[in-house]
Homo-oligomer: A and B are copies of this chain.
Amino acid sequence: MAKNMIIGQSGGPTAVINSSLAGAIEYGLQSDKISNIYGMINGIEGLMEENIISLSAMFRHLPHELNRLKHSPAMFLGSCRFKLSNKREEFERIFEVLEFYEIGYFIYIGGNDSMDTVKKLSDYAKSIGSDIRVVGIPKTIDNDLNGIDHSPGFGSAAKYIATCVREVAYDTSIYSIKSVHIIEAMGRNAGWLTASSVLARQDNMPAPHLVYLPEVPFSVEQFISDVKAKLEEYNSVIVVVSEGIRDKDGNYISAAQSTSADQFGHARLSGTGAYLKSLIEKEIGCKVRALEPSVLQRSAGHIAALTDVNEAFNLGSVAVRAAVDENKTGVFSTLRRTSNKPYCVEYDTEDVSVVANEEKKVPVEWITKEGNDVTDEMVTYLRPLIRGTVQTPFRSGLPDYVDIRHLDVRKQRYTD
């Protein structure tokens, strides 16, 4: 007997979470084991409040909208930061709603915390003898998930950062005066995104000249000395730093600045890049700019990597297949790299306990001894992930992303 599927999104946005959603919906629409596909608005939190829409009704007759969804950043269904406690009432409420909607398949797209939710819900289902299948789809720009070669969302963010470095390098190379540009990349504990900036170096472009990852201790003295050395060789020096770089005692470099701040609290102004900017102004005295692309790096759908979009889409399909056709639960869809030249991956599932609540950091061997660059192994790992150009639909000069607000009328009708 056909059952219903429900799907939700959780955690921080990426450029391709909706690609996974589109992949899951497409697989679901084609399966005769699934009657309806529901979406939770704002993840598990919305589920408990029965904030639920019918995705099958919305997309069944709109294949073009499904394709737009595949190419729209952020989260069509909205997010939450809700972490399941161990309270029995929460689980009972969730399964009450799932039973009411006759759900057979629960699909959740997210990072570490969301995979923890998948684990808890699948464990609970087993414990009460429910046959609801609970399957995760991974995502994060930080690339810090275990059990997968690389996380969907990372490749697009990496392409954004590497493109920024190239465009800043073109911009700054036109003058003959000395200057330093610091780009602060996201990544509190894992330096993958910062590392990906080195992909900008093709065609003998030397930028970025220095990169600093949070996996190795950051020394302010060494940093100044590194920048001085590069300024000897180049007019324009481009530095990429992870927001989470720390000194040898584990103190955040930006937080270290906060500690030494005055009573007006000015130092709260400074991100890591802004702090390093002030440091160079003081110690070297040349022109310095700090760039903080912030959330732009995770939501720039217009420059997503097609490889990433397609992999995220496939991971969406693979998760639904695992739940529906392979009767799996407590797993997430994953991919393994089988070859670099040509770049190939194979899809599979992995037990969700492999990923839940653990961070995959950059191996220290992939960072140079000097702590200001990465090795060739890192470049080989990264290079294929940013490939492929998306054909973003534009309207009136701007990216034409799908938005649940535009579908509100339909949503009302479909959920009647």
* Cross-chain contact A275 with B269 (CB below 8 angstroms): yes
Contacts of A250 in B (CB 8 A): none
* Cross-chain contact B290 with A167 (CB below 8 angstroms): no
Among B9, B261, B386, B405, the residue within 8 A (CB) of A266 is: B261
Contacts of A374 in B (CB 8 A): none
Give Cα distance in the complex from A78 to B236, angstroms.
Answer: 13
Contact with B along A382-416 (1 / 0, CB 8 A): 01001111001011111101010110000000000
Contacts of A370 in B (CB 8 A): none
Give Cα distance in the complex from A385 to B25, angstroms.
Answer: 37
* Cross-chain contact B296 with A164 (CB below 8 angstroms): yes
Q: Please judge, given known A-B contacts A264-B260, A266-B261, A278-B268, whether A170 and B389 are in contact too, CB under 8 Å.
A: no
In chain B, what residue has the closest Cβ to A13?
Answer: B171
Contacts of A403 in B (CB 8 A): 170, 203, 205
* Cross-chain contact A202 with B398 (CB below 8 angstroms): yes
Which residues of chain A from 194 to 240 have any CB-CB distance to chain B below 8 Å in the complex? 199-200, 202-205
Q: Does A294 belong to the interface (CB within 8 Å)? A: yes
Q: Does A118 belong to the interface (CB within 8 Å)? A: no
* Cross-chain contact B266 with A270 (CB below 8 angstroms): yes
Q: Please judge, given known A-B contacts A262-B262, A386-B397, A395-B202, whether A168 and B278 are in contact too, CB under 8 Å.
A: no
* Cross-chain contact B302 with A291 (CB below 8 angstroms): no
Q: Please judge, given known A-B contacts A73-B167, A292-B290, A398-B162, whether A262 and B266 are in contact too, CB under 8 Å.
A: yes
Q: Does A301 belong to the interface (CB within 8 Å)? A: yes
* Cross-chain contact B398 with A159 (CB below 8 angstroms): yes
Contacts of A397 in B (CB 8 A): 159, 162, 199, 305, 307, 383, 386-389
* Cross-chain contact B265 with A269 (CB below 8 angstroms): no
Contact with B along A303-319 (1 / 0, CB 8 A): 10101000000000000
One of A57-65, A145-153, A174-182, A327-335 at the interface:
A174-182
* Cross-chain contact B405 with A386 (CB below 8 angstroms): no
Of all A-B residue pairs in the complex, the 10 with the closest CB atoms, nearest first, are A386-B397, A171-B299, A74-B170, A262-B262, A79-B174, A266-B266, A387-B397, A75-B174, A269-B270, A167-B299
Query: Can you list 5 residue pairs at the A/B interface with Cβ under 8 Å?
Result: A80-B175, A166-B399, A167-B302, A202-B396, A204-B406
